Amino acid sequence: MLKYILIPLLPLLSFIINILFGRNYIKNRAHWIAVPAILGSFVLAVSACIEVLNGKVIDINVYSWIVSGSFNVSVGILIDQLTAVMLMVVTSIGSLIFIYSVGYMHGDKGYYRFFAYLSLFIFSMLTLVMANNFLIMYLGWEAVGLCSYFLIGFWFHKKSAGDAGKKAFIVNRFGDFGFGLGVILIFLTFGSLNYMEVFGAAGGIVGQTITLLGYKVDLITLICLLLFCGAMGKSAQFPFHVWLPDAMEGPTPVSALIHAATMVTAGVFMVARCNTLFSYSQTAMNTVAIVGGFTAIFAATIALVQNDIKRVIAYSTVSQLGYMFLALGVGAYSAGVFHLYTHAFFKALLFLGSGSVIHALHHAKQDDEQNMQVMGGLKKHMPITYWVFILATLSITGIPFLSGFFSKDEILWQTFQAGDLGKFLWFLGALAALLTAFYSWRLIYLTFHGEYRGDTECESRIHESPLVITIPLMLLAVGAVAAGWVGIPPVFLEHGDKIGYFLAPVLGHPEGHGTHAQEYFVIASSIFVAIAGWVIAYIMYIKNPGLPEKLFSAFRPVHKVLFNKYYIDEFYDKTIVQPVLKASDKIILAFDVNVIEGVVNGVPSLIGVFSKGLRKIQTGLLSNYAAVMAIGVLCVVGYMFFMR
């Protein structure tokens, strides 16, 4: 049991040591604590996953945490097939990003603090995925949100970073409120928060309703929608997507680990974990699928015209998370988790690759180090970064036979089979794939091809990143190419889809209703849109680089809407933020004047009045004091006499 407990505890120990002793003693050597801790967790996770591969499921209660009447919650660990996949994603990619951070964060004044927060995040994420009950999951869920807040605002001297951290924290409170209500409703319904007990009893509440605001609501649907509310916030699905692009204010390793590969997939993991509940509610399933499909296309359209290299990848992440929910919503849980797994590699690689570019431009002292419009021609200066970027882009766009091709095509195929709604959602997914290919290659061409568009003096100082940065990039590139080979579909390989069958005991394996001809059509159309997006980007940014500006001028209103992200942030500011601030100002002002100042100023005034009266007694005359004492004695004697 100890080795399973050590998987999350090693990063926690790293956090405690670095946060307590980092500032005065460890300082710029914090990685010597953090990196071995995450590598130790990785080794132990591999050991646990091998046991799961051999058919073992680990479900243990470490100790009883809360016992109050019928409310009994233990700190427990569950390592099954789903957890095994998440453990490999979190610890393997986490290890590479920790190593990358040694080079990227070198010289930062908050170096020890960065590794402390990163270690705390890994502990929190491992707690979330290893929990065997909803309350421990919720504990990890809130802890990763807290770490996200810490790390987005890591450079707190920048107002934009502080604002972005607050925005992420506040937006997620809306989703987490729903998630918390869902957990409470689960306990009130089932009398337990343990996964196995809840999922085992789920069939017994099918058809039950409760009255909510005067309406009868299906109970299991309400539970699922409340849980999904939390998933929408954590995984940045519309309309809670607004926090993730702003989260790019944090250091790039944070963007890669937390806001691409791990924390933002917690919502996908949670819905997949609760597949038993969701499968009993078609309404909830349709909601998940529609929100996912809409978010995939919505975020992809915004990414088309953004110029900040990290924000393009951030909107790409929102779009790809939509793909995952699209799969979950049509019952293809294994396909959704498979894409979560492959996406972690190529998206972390894209973020770290952009970090390598930013790192190089920062040291070259370029003012606007994230604006692709002042980049260009970096291919000759940064060949390793360029080629790993190419591999990640080929993977995310679905070029055969890289990781993204297998996982994304599996989602599109499963969606295509899911009835009339599925056909429509498949179309949205295919269109999103076209847009993904376009904006991904646009990023490549603006950043690495053509002539350098920045300061020529800066260009002379641009060079490839050090090995501590490029080695993790190359290792992630291997994952971007080969991680998806565990999911080669049976249409290509007779005994393929290993990951689907591995996850089947937890997530099931959807029965196929389509023909091989239909599957080949879906695959061919996916390849076609991937190549079409690539070709369009090549024509616009290599063959005819003046074409984008002409199109933007011709369709200026559309470009303006997309560039300003459909004005969703402005809408929220006008309808929620400003009214709340104005109302708060009035309430706080009234409370401050009438209550706070009333107490602060009133108590001294009262004491002054009382003291002024008391001073009159102090005459300095002995006869007066004797008279007062005599009156006091008479009062006491009188009281004793009348009370007899």
Q: What is the pLDDT of residue 69?
A: 82
Q: What are phi and psi of 211, to 5 degrees?
A: -90, 125
Span 358-366, average pLDDT = 81
Instruction: Give the chain's length.
Output: 644
pLDDT in tens, 562-577: 999 999 999 999 999 8
Q: What is the pLDDT of residue 33?
A: 95
The two structure tokens encoding residue 80: 């099954």
Span 343-363, average pLDDT = 90
Q: What is the pLDDT of residue 611?
A: 76
Poorest-pLDDT segment among 151-160, 216-225, 615-624: 615-624
Q: What is the pLDDT of residue 98?
A: 95
Q: What is the pLDDT of residue 149?
A: 93
440 or 582, higher pLDDT: 440
232 or 367, higher pLDDT: 232
Query: Is residue 598 pLDDT above 80, yes or no?
Result: no
Mean pLDDT of the chain: 90
Q: What is the pLDDT of residue 644?
A: 63
Q: What is the pLDDT of residue 603?
A: 74
What DSSP state is assigned to residue 41?
H
Poorest-pLDDT segment among 313-327, 356-370, 478-492: 356-370
pLDDT tier, 591 (very low <50, low <70, confident <90, very high otherwise): confident
The two structure tokens encoding residue 429: 């997914």
Q: What is the pLDDT of residue 607?
A: 80
Q: What is the pLDDT of residue 509?
A: 75
Query: Is residue 461 pLDDT above 90, yes or no?
Result: no
Side chain identity, residue 490: P
On whether the CB atoms of residues 122 and 129 are closer than 8 A, the answer is: no
pLDDT tier, 93 (very low <50, low <70, confident <90, very high otherwise): very high
Q: What is the pLDDT of residue 320?
A: 95
What element of type H or E holds 32? helix 31-53
pLDDT tier, 632 (very low <50, low <70, confident <90, very high otherwise): confident
Q: What angle do CA 585, 587, 589 make, to 5 degrees?
A: 65
Q: Distance of alpha carbon 335 from its chain centroid, rounded?
A: 20
The two structure tokens encoding residue 371: 């604006």
Q: Which of 215, 196, 216, 338 is nearest to 277 (CA)?
A: 196
Cβ count within 10 A of residue 635:
10
pLDDT in tens, 390-442: 999 999 999 998 999 999 999 999 999 888 898 999 999 999 999 999 999 99
Residue whose structure tokens are 């319904």: 189
Query: Is residue 168 pLDDT above 70, yes or no?
Result: yes
On whether the CB atoms of residues 152 and 249 are closer than 8 A, the answer is: yes
Percentage of the chain exceeding pLDDT 90:
66
Q: Which of 329, 226, 266, 312 is nearest to 89 (CA)?
A: 266
pLDDT tier, 519 (very low <50, low <70, confident <90, very high otherwise): confident
Q: How far apart are CA 34 and CA 75, in angstroms?
A: 25
On whether the CB atoms of residues 325 and 361 are closer than 8 A, the answer is: no
pLDDT tier, 259 (very low <50, low <70, confident <90, very high otherwise): confident
Span 37-48, average pLDDT = 96
pLDDT in tens, 344-353: 999 999 999 9
Q: What is the pLDDT of residue 498?
A: 87
Q: What is the pLDDT of residue 512?
A: 67
Q: How far apart are CA 490 and CA 492, in angstroms?
A: 5
549 Cβ contact partners less than 8 Å away, ≥ 6 residues apart: none
Q: Which of 211, 221, 100, 118 is nearest to 473 (CA)?
A: 100
Query: Is residue 4 pLDDT above 80, yes or no?
Result: yes
